[in-house]
Each structure stands twice: as structure tokens, then as C-alpha cells.
């Protein structure tokens, strides 16, 4: 499978990553190499098989919907690692009225 | 013998008999770190003596190295990525809390491939770790800092984590023991997530008996990780020093291309296992190259989802700080999960994963345990990860099949190359939740051969 620089750029946008042209070229080559291995899987007959996404046979693990106070952070703890706070809140970037 | 050179088993016995204290061992390790870490870069963060916790709990404050993807309360935790520079989690990972309860102390955080993406520890944003057996070589990865810390006696034992082969491969390359219990045995809560359906905490240690002592400390059901297993964990200590009489062992992957240089050494392993009483047969398993394909799809997809949380808002730096390898993996995963491609690649890979589950099930009806090489080669030279965008996967070809199935498995030293001072590792695998079988084979092999230098010293030195 071929990856154009434009397509790679589009994937980067989806993943909210910024890449330059040189990186786009480099990534395209890496993706092609990886996809060559992945595409071999399409030769494997898998009709009628269920996919495996959980390997230790647990099904629907539930818990009571109660607050676990031991798991709570204080406001100070919750904000301690944030770069930008305002009066005890996290400040986020404006995302509306923002051209992409 | 210096106190930092003790195995966990020796350290326990000596402290119990009051020959030395946990604090003295802790300090001996710190002193050795001071001397060697400049060259090795095994530790990213080093704790001070103040972090030694003296108590009478079972493990006497014995000092461990902790891979940098485990959250320790108020200790910088970066997963070797610049994205998390300065991040001090306000809580302990469950595994860390359990180790504290058992009475261990923490020497510091060890280097790894950034986000555990790799098999060389070269993708760390804080520089590569060198292999203490031969400084021109890589330690393997992603738990390369932990493996190097054990191999250079900079700790008593080290916590690592495995997704594809990240405990077993660096253990093999650094000539120490690595063990990953079954998927779900140890909680993933508080571990920087890589691929949630295969991430598994485990240890790098000096001997197999050390694994048996320490692994139960971190295992057990955790309400904070819905995938943690409620199954009772087996007694591993009882499996030490048994013989292998009547055990049937299947030998995998000897004829795979790339094994030409090391095949002869593994044939010797075969003979040694037979001498110990096992019946060993070469057996054909599903082509491990297919497992690379499955792993690539599953891992990249889960990475793209898991690393989506790093937005630089609540903690950490912005996404512009992701390194080249992380970008490569996030983006390939984003592509694989995107509309139109998910059916073709993601679901097909998960179905082939089912075939691997079935294949191991079939093999374990015929054999008690399976063994194989860990890596086709001795530790490669620094810079090796630049060979290919698929470097990690190609190195982990023999360990990825069992990893995608979540099987308990170990790596034990099985050859020492005198010229390079490097080691090969034997991969030992057992059915889901049957860790005791891995331990029985690993312990018997270690006791019956002389490849593990710590075990050799321990045998000759019952009275420390």
C-alpha cells in the first residue's frame, strides 16, 4: 500500500500531531514497510472466526455505581500538574470559532 | 561479595539472620548507581536515602528499580517521553502500592523506550541505555533500563512491563531472568497505557527463585482494573528445584529464517532439558511472522487510542513533544482504525489472533510447556533500532505470539558468548494462568546449567 505525503498529513491531522514535509516522507516509508507485513494477514482464511480482543475470558465486569472516596483527588492535587489554571479551573484552548 | 550483588533470595535470608540490614543493601545499590549510571543511563530518576522505608514487613525495605511507566506518588513519571517531563502523579499505581505493602523500597525510575514503543531502549527521549555486559550494545527493550539495572547489580530486582516482549527480550540481551505472568494477573492501574489488551506487569530478576518470591506480591484482583483476574495465583516457590521427569516440552521456531547463527546453542538447550528428564520434541506452530502482523495492528491501534489522552491540559506537555517513534505508531493506529480500513485490517488481525489462541490451545494438549529462543540474536549494537520501522517487531518475533495470547512466560539465560560477554535467552511458555509450569521448567533449567552466574554463586555459597 502506498501512502502519499498528503494522506500522511491527513492522518497526522486526525491524530492531532504536527509533522513537517520531511517527516511526512519518512513516515510514508515506515507505513509502507509496516503495511507490507500487515497485508500478509489478508491471505489467512478467517471465515467464521470470532475476533479476540480480550484474552483472559472475563466478560462484563461490573461494579456498584458508588463514589470511592479513596480514589478522589483534592482540587489542589488535580490541578497540580496542569500548565494553565484559573481560579481553581483548568484552562483549555478555545475550539469553537476556530478554523481548521 | 558486595551487598548490591545479592539476589533477592540471598538478601532475604541475610536480613532475616541479621547479617546485614535492608538499609545497608539500599545504600550499597545507591553507591553502585553513583558509579555506574553515568555510563549506563539505566536510571532516569534516582531516589535519595530518604526513600528507604525501614519496617518489619516481609521484604525488609529491600531496594527495587521501577520502570518509568509506573506512577509513584509524587515521583516524576515520564514513560521516557518528553510529553510527561515534570509529571508527578498524585497517586501510586496498584502494583506500586502492593510492593510498598510487601515492604519494598524504590531506588528510582528506569529508562525505557518512550511509551514502551520499541525493543532497544533507544527511542527514549532521555538517551539510550547501554548494555552493562558490553557497553557498545543495546540492552533490548522496552524494559531496557530495568534489565540493565539488574545485570549491573544496581538493584536487587526490577519491575518491568511487557506488551510484545518488553520483559523477556531485554532480560535475554542483558543476561538476567525475566518473567511476565499471565495477562490480567497484575493490575494495569497507574501504568502508562500502551496496548491495554496485552500490557502486563512483571519482573526482571537475578534468578528464577527471585521471580517466585516477588511475583505474587503484585498479583491479584484489582477493582481499579476491570481486566484483572479473579483466579487464584499458584504457589511458585513449591516449583523450585523439581526435576522435569515426565514433562513433555515442545521446542518452537528453531527452523525459522534468521536462526542460523544461534541455532546450535538452542540445540544444546534441548539436550540439557532432556538430561533433566524432559521429553523434548521439535514442534511446528503457527508462523510467528503472522503474529508480527497481528501485534502491529493491535498495538498501533490501541496506542493511537491510549495516547489520545495526552493533550497537555491536565498534566504533561503538548502533543508536539511526541518523538518520531510515538508519532509513527499513533498515526499508523489512527489509519488502521479509520473508517473503511478497520474491517480490512483491525478485525482481520483480531481474527488471526484467535487462530494463535487456538494454536496454543492445541499445542498445550500435547505438551506441558513450550520453549523457544527469545531473540534470534545476541544483543545488537547501539543504533540497531534505526535498521527498520519494524525493528521492535522483528526482534520480538518469537515472543509476540505468546504475548498476543497473554500467556505466562519467562526468559532465562541459556548461553554466554565469551568474546562479546553477551547472552542468549530461553523463552518458556505455559497455558494461561499456569505460571507454576513456567517456574518449574525455568528453575530446573537454571539449576541444571551454569549460564546464570548469580545462581552459580548462590549454589556454591549456601552460607552468605
Question: Catalytic annotation on B142?
Answer: yes
pLDDT tens for B369-385 read: 999 999 999 999 999 99
pLDDT of residue B464: 45
pLDDT, average across residues B276-299: 97
Tell me the Ramachandran region of residue A6: left when phi exceeds 0, alpha when psi lies from -120 to 50, beta otherwise: alpha
User: Residue B387: its chain A contacts at CB < 8 A?
Assistant: none
Q: Would you call B398 helix, strand, or coil by DSSP?
A: coil
Interchain contact, B182 vs A63, CB within 8 Å: no
- Say yes or no: A42 contacts chain B, CB-CB below 8 A: yes
pLDDT of residue A21: 94
Tell me the pLDDT band of B461, cut-offs 50, 70 and 90. low
Quote the number of domains for chain B.
1
Question: Catalytic annotation on B143?
Answer: no
Interchain contact, A44 vs B290, CB within 8 Å: yes
Sign (positive or negative) of CA dihedral B429, B434, B436, B441 = negative
Question: Residue B394 above 90 pLDDT?
Answer: no
pLDDT of residue A98: 59
> Which residue among B80, B119, B166, B228 is the active-site one?
B166
DSSP string, B168-233: HHHHHHHTSEEEE--TTSB--TTB--S-TTT-EEEEEESSHHHHHHHHHHHBS--TT-TTS--SPP
ipTM of the complex: 0.94
pLDDT tens for B94-126 read: 999 999 999 999 999 999 999 999 999 999 999
pLDDT, average across residues B268-282: 97
Paired residues of B72 in beta bridges: B75
In-domain check, residue B263: yes
- Say yes or no: B249 contacts chain A, CB-CB below 8 A: no
Q: For chain B, state the CA radius of gyration.
A: 20
pLDDT of residue B231: 95
In-domain check, residue B464: no
Interchain contact, A29 vs B389, CB within 8 Å: yes
pLDDT tens for A27-62 read: 999 999 999 999 999 999 999 999 999 999 899 999
User: Which cell is B75 given?
Assistant: 515521583
Nearest to A90 among B182, B293, B314 (CB): B314
B29 to chain A, closest Cα gap in Å: 31
| Boundaries of domain holding B95 | 3-458
Interchain contact, A53 vs B350, CB within 8 Å: yes
pLDDT of residue A93: 85
- Say yes or no: A96 contacts chain B, CB-CB below 8 A: no
Paired residues of B158 in beta bridges: B65, B204
**What is the average pLDDT value for chain B, to the nearest integer?**
95
Contact present, B272 and B296 (Cβ < 8 Å): no
Which percentage of chain B shows pLDDT scores above 90? Answer: 92
User: Residue A82: its chain B contacts at CB < 8 A?
Assistant: 313-315
User: Residue B359: its chain A contacts at CB < 8 A?
Assistant: none
Name B88's Cβ contacts closer than 8 Å, sequence gap at least 6. Answer: A80, A81, B74, B75, B76, B77
In-domain check, residue B338: yes
Q: What share of chain B is helix, strand, coil (3-state, %, to 5)?
A: 40, 15, 45
Which percentage of chain A shows pLDDT scores above 90? Answer: 85
Q: Would you call B411 helix, strand, or coil by DSSP?
A: strand
pLDDT, average across residues B402-406: 98
In-domain check, residue B371: yes
Question: Residue B332 above 80 pLDDT?
Answer: yes
Cell 481474527 identifies what position? B351
In-domain check, residue B65: yes
pLDDT, average across residues B224-248: 94
User: Which cell is B121 given?
Assistant: 531502549
Interchain contact, A55 vs B328, CB within 8 Å: no
Burial class (CB in 10 A: 0-12, 13-18, 19+), A43: exposed
pLDDT of residue B1: 86
Tell me the Ramachandran region of residue B250: left when phi exceeds 0, alpha when psi lies from -120 to 50, beta otherwise: beta
Question: Catalytic annotation on B166?
Answer: yes
DSSP-derived secondary structure letter, B321: G
Cell 472466526 identifies what position? A49
Three-state secondary structure readout of B413-434: EEEEECCCCEEEEEEEECCCCC
pLDDT, average across residues B167-183: 98
pLDDT of residue A100: 54
In-domain check, residue B463: no
Residue B288 sits in a domain whose CATH number is: 3.90.1300.10
Question: Residue B463 above 50 pLDDT?
Answer: no
Interchain contact, A92 vs B331, CB within 8 Å: no
pLDDT, average across residues B333-357: 96
State how far the Cα of A22 lies from the Cα of A7, in Å rounded to an integer. Answer: 14
User: Residue B334: its chain A contacts at CB < 8 A?
Assistant: 11, 14-15
State how far the Cα of B13 lies from the Cα of B20, in Å rounded to an integer. Answer: 10
Nearest to B293 among A41, A55, A81 (CB): A41
The arrangement of strands across the sheet holding B279-282 comes to B43-46, B105-110, B63-67, B157-162, B200-205, B177-180, B409-417, B422-429, B369-373, B248-251, B279-282
In-domain check, residue B17: yes
Q: In this structure, how many other beta carbons lie within 10 angstroms of the beta carbon of residue B355?
A: 18
pLDDT, average across residues B83-90: 96
Contact present, B319 and A16 (Cβ < 8 Å): yes
Interchain contact, B197 vs A18, CB within 8 Å: no
> Which residue among B23, B36, B67, B247 is the active-site one?
B67
Amino acid at each position: 500500500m502506498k501512502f502519499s505525503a498528503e494522506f500522511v498529513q491527513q492522518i497526522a491531522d486526525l491524530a492531532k500531531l504536527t509533522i513537517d514535509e520531511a517527516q511526512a516522507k519518512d513516515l510514508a516509508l515506515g507505513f509502507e514497510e509496516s503495511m507490507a507485513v500487515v497485508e500478509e494477514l489478508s491471505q489467512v482464511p478467517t471465515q467464521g472466526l470470532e475476533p479476540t480482543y480480550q484474552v483472559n475470558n472475563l466478560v462484563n465486569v461490573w461494579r456498584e455505581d458508588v463514589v470511592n472516596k479513596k480514589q478522589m483527588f483534592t482540587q489542589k492535587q488535580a490541578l497540580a500538574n496542569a500548565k494553565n489554571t484559573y481560579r481553581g479551573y483548568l484552562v483549555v484552548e478555545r475550539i469553537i470559532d476556530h478554523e481548521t | 561479595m558486595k551487598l548490591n550483588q545479592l539476589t533477592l533470595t540471598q538478601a532475604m535470608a541475610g536480613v532475616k539472620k541479621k547479617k546485614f540490614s535492608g538499609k545497608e543493601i539500599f545504600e550499597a545499590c545507591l553507591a553502585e548507581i553513583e558509579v555506574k549510571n553515568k555510563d549506563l543511563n539505566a536510571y532516569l530518576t534516582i531516589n535519595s536515602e530518604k526513600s528507604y522505608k525501614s519496617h518489619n514487613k516481609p521484604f525488609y525495605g529491600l531496594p527495587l528499580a521501577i520502570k518509568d511507566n509506573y506512577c509513584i506518588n509524587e515521583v516524576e513519571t515520564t514513560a521516557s517521553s518528553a510529553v510527561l517531563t515534570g509529571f508527578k502523579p498524585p497517586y501510586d499505581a496498584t502494583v506500586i502500592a502492593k510492593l510498598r505493602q510487601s515492604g519494598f523500597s524504590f531506588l528510582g525510575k528506569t529508562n525505557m523506550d518512550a511509551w514502551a514503543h520499541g525493543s532497544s531502549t533507544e527511542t527514549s527521549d532521555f538517551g539510550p541505555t547501554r548494555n552493562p555486559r558490553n557497553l557498545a550494545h543495546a540492552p533490548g527493550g522496552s524494559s531496557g533500563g530495568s534489565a540493565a539495572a539488574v545485570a549491573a547489580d544496581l538493584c536487587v530486582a526490577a519491575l518491568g512491563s511487557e506488551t510484545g516482549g518488553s520483559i523477556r527480550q531485554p532480560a535475554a540481551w542483558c543476561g538476567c531472568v525475566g518473567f511476565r505472568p499471565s495477562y490480567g494477573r497484575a493490575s494495569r492501574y497507574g501504568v502508562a497505557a500502551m496496548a491495554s489488551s496485552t500490557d502486563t506487569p512483571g519482573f526482571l530478576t537475578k534468578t528464577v527463585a527471585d521471580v517466585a518470591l516477588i511475583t505474587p506480591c503484585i498479583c491479584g484482583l484489582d477493582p481499579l482494573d476491570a481486566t484483572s483476574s479473579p483466579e487464584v495465583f499458584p504457589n511458585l516457590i513449591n516449583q523450585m528445584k523439581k526435576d522435569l521427569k515426565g514433562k513433555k516440552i515442545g521446542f518452537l521456531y528453531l527452523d525459522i529464517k534468521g536462526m542460523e547463527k544461534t541455532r546450535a546453542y538452542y540445540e544444546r538447550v534441548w539436550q540439557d532439558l532432556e538430561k533433566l528428564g524432559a521429553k523434548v520434541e521439535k514442534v511446528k506452530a503457527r508462523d510467528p511472522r503472522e503474529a508480527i502482523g497481528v501485534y502491529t495492528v493491535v498495538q498501533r491501534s490501541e496506542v493511537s487510542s491510549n495516547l489520545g489522552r495526552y493533550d497537555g491540559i491536565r498534566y504533561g506537555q503538548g502533543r508536539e513533544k511526541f518523538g518520531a517513534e510515538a508519532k509513527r505508531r499513533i498515526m499508523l493506529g489512527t489509519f488502521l482504525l479509520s473508517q473503511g480500513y478497520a474491517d480490512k485490517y483491525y478485525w482481520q488481525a483480531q481474527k488471526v489472533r484467535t487462530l494463535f489462541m487456538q494454536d496454543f490451545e492445541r499445542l498445550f494438549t500435547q505438551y506441558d510447556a513450550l520453549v523457544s529462543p527469545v531473540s534470534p540474536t545476541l544483543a545488537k549494537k547501539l543504533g540497531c533500532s534505526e535498521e527498520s520501522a519494524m525493528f521492535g517487531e522483528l526482534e520480538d518475533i518469537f515472543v509476540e505470539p505468546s504475548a498476543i495470547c497473554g500467556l505466562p512466560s519467562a526468559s532465562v539465560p541459556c548461553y554466554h558468548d565469551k568474546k562479546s560477554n553477551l547472552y542468549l535467552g530461553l523463552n518458556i511458555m505455559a497455558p494461561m494462568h499456569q505460571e507454576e509450569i513456567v517456574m518449574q521448567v525455568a528453575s530446573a533449567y537454571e539449576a541444571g546449567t551454569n549460564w546464570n552466574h548469580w545462581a552459580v554463586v548462590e549454589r556454591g555459597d549456601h552460607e552468605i
